[in-house]
Structure 1
Amino acid sequence: MVIIGVALLIFGPKKITKIGATLGKPLRGFKDEIHFFGDEYFNDKN
């Protein structure tokens, strides 16, 4: 909580939203790829 508060003070709420979106998109893509390949792996084993 303290880190979030300090980040808000330093960057401001608009910049934090932009940073979150910039970091979130690649992480979501990575997560989706892991699920895709995991599903294919388990489907091939059966």
Structure 2
Amino acid sequence: MIGGLGIWELILILGIVLVVFGANKLPEIGGGMGKAIRNFKRATSEPDEIDVTPKEKVTEKTDKKDGDKPE
């Protein structure tokens, strides 16, 4: 039993899929699903891409007088 589905339920589902999509399309659908699952696993296991380029150094003037407007 897979997830609460018995063998007869699986056969019925596969029969409906065969009728709806046809025998010629099933390998394409299976291949597409395999690629999608593989890409999903790869995306979840890879670390997030971060920007490692150095940013411009930001310097502030320390000799501001009271009343000077910020630049």
TM-score (norm 2): 0.41
* Structure 2: gaps (5+ residues): 1-9, 48-71
> Computing the radius of gyration over CA atoms, which structure comes out larger, 1 or 2?
2
* Structure 1: gaps (5+ residues): 38-46
Corresponding pairs, count:
37
Q: Does 2:25 match 1:15?
A: yes
Q: 4+ residue stretches of structure 1 with deviation over 4 A?
A: none
TM-score (norm 1): 0.55
The alpha-carbon deviation at position 12 of structure 1 amounts to: 1.6
The alpha-carbon deviation at position 33 of structure 1 amounts to: 2.5
Q: Which structure shows the bigger proportion of residues in helix conformation? A: 1
Q: Which of the pair has the greater relative contact order for Cα pairs under 8 Å at 6+ separation?
A: 1
Identity %: 35
CA RMSD in angstroms comes to 1.6
